[in-house]
Amino acid sequence: GAQAGGEASAQAAPDGRTILAFGKLRGKTFEEAVRCDLRYCRWFLESAQKDPDASAECSENFAAFLAYLGPALGRIGSASSYCPPANAAEGIDLASGSWPVEFGKHKGLSFKELYERDGRYCQWVLNQALHAQKQPTLAVSSFLVYVQYRLLREGRTDASFEGGA
């Protein structure tokens, strides 16, 4: 119960390299989570502070993330968040098509593989982004830049796909 949550928060301050084991940012390090989605992290911290009893019943990873967020958000202040794709930091050119798809049913394929295997899905993603009521994620936007690049390179003026490219 409350004891487990208290023990986790009494440990040394969590490292930003700890992997988040829950929620929409699962798989990212604590540091990446704060960099990628500042709004979510602020909401998470505020929600936990509003209901400390619920937070006391949480996992050790949840408690560690809470312990990390307070000081991390304090250092950032009102800065905006930006989360570059992992490959951008490694210097891999977007035009190569080797960036991984980080969303949807084809998650894990490279941009090039998805473009060449499932043109209908590429068109569907494009249509979803064009008619969305909110800004697409950086992962989706990066993929769509690649799709547009390929269409232009191939001399195609429409975005109609049938199967592959």
Helices of type H across the chain: 2-10, 30-36, 38-50, 52-56, 60-76, 86-89, 111-117, 119-130, 138-153
Q: 55, 48 in Cβ contact below 8 A?
A: yes
- Model pLDDT, residue 148: 92
CB neighbours of 125 closer than 8 A, spacing ≥ 6?
104, 140, 143, 144, 147
- Model pLDDT, residue 114: 93
Low-confidence ranges of the chain (pLDDT < 70): 1-13, 54-57, 75-91, 157-165
Closest C-alpha among 72, 68, 48 to residue 58: 48
- Model pLDDT, residue 16: 84
What whole-number distance in Å separates Cα of residue 21 and Cα of residue 27? 6
- Model pLDDT, residue 145: 93
- Model pLDDT, residue 91: 61
- Model pLDDT, residue 52: 72
> Side chain identity at 74, as an amino acid letter?
G
- Model pLDDT, residue 158: 67
What whole-number distance in Å separates Cα of residue 62 and Cα of residue 25? 12
